[in-house]
Amino acid sequence: MLGTRITAIGTYVPETKLTNFELERMVETNNEWILQRTGIHERRISRPDEFTSDLCVAAVKDLMKRYNKKVEDVDMIIVATSTPDFPFPSVSSIIQNRLNIAQTGAIDLSAACAGFVYAMHTAHSFIASGLHKKVLVIGADTISKITDYTDRSTCILFGDGAGAVLIESDEQSNSFIGFHLGSDGSGAQHVYRPGLSKKVNGIELVDTQYLVQNGREVFRWVVRNVPDSVKQILEKTQTNLEQIDWFIPHSANLRLIEPISEKVGFPMKKTLYSLVNFGNTSAATIPLALDLGIREGKVKNGDHVLLYGFGSGLVHAGQLLHLNLDEQINAPKPL
């Protein structure tokens, strides 16, 4: 297998902020209640004319500027999203056109909040097999556009954002150490957005245009399953917990991250998340958290970073990385 390295990262969040105090005026809730139950202070909301493809392009441009990268020779674009601009054409095809990439494959990947990790795994497979040389991976969602702002159980959680990484063939270095993938479709009815079918697992779905989530059941499933899956990655790669510099789980809710870290045995001071100022951005939470760690000088080249995403499906994916990014040429703009 050929070496595969993550060479650059870029992120973007919309300018508009939705604070807990603003939500107090929209639904029956308050800042203290939201903080106590989620750890979220605010989230970013896309404009009515701003869509997932716009966030993706901005994240890639951030990557290009910071690392002095060109993307015209990218030979595959993979976008992980649950909120594409259209059912079709794909967000990846829109990005290909807007970034003037003449010859490339372009696919969207649907794995909800685990989408970014699945897209990374797919890109690694493409390059390690020798079929591709340079893959652009983006995790992005505009969940605000499918959020019911009369439902206080969901509207306090979600925000919009995008994160992009460039993954390239490298004979001298390899970023990808080990992984674990899984799915439990028996719980599909716990997180969904209705589509063509009105039933799943024989259960009638709520007829709405918005995201529907049974937070209690998702919480139970995640705490019951994710820690064991994390431990499987460590066992398969013969890695001790002490060798992991940073743990980056999906930033769904701080009260969910805490029991996961506790059951794995990983200290919260070495657990990174992006939810405090951005909320749950679905496929974007993990790249946002990784980039925040880099921007703050916490995450450095040579670090071992364990990513773990989980979401609707119920699908989950983990990836152990050894970071060796290119040197940043330009400092990133504040998010």
Instruction: Name the active-site residue from 132, 180, 250, 316.
Output: 250
For the chain, counts of helices (H) and of strands (E): 10, 15
Structure tokens at 35: 């903080």
Active site residue 280: yes
Q: How far apart are CA 310 and CA 129, in angstroms?
A: 26
The dihedrals phi and psi of 277, each to the nearest 5 degrees, come to: -105, -10
Per-residue exposure over 126-158, b if at least 16 CB sit within 10 Å of its own CB, e if not:
bbbeeebbbbbbbbbbbbbbbbeeeebebbbbb
Q: What contacts 56, CB < 8 A, 6 or more positions away?
A: 79, 91, 95, 138, 140, 162, 164
Instruction: Name the active-site residue from 20, 174, 253, 280.
Output: 280
Instruction: Name the active-site residue from 20, 56, 113, 316.
Output: 113
Q: Pick the closest to residue 139 from 306, 290, 325, 315 (CA basis).
A: 290
Q: How far apart are CA 145 and CA 60, in angstroms?
A: 22
Contact assessment for residue 161 and residue 55, using Cβ atoms and an 8 Å cutoff: yes
Q: How far apart are CA 110 and CA 93, in angstroms?
A: 15
Contact assessment for residue 255 and residue 135, using Cβ atoms and an 8 Å cutoff: no
Directed axis angle between helix 115-128 and helix 285-295, to 10°?
80
What ranges in 74-209 are assigned the alpha helix state H? Answer: 91-98, 115-128, 152-155
Contact assessment for residue 42 and residue 19, using Cβ atoms and an 8 Å cutoff: yes
Return the active site residues.
Answer: 113, 250, 280
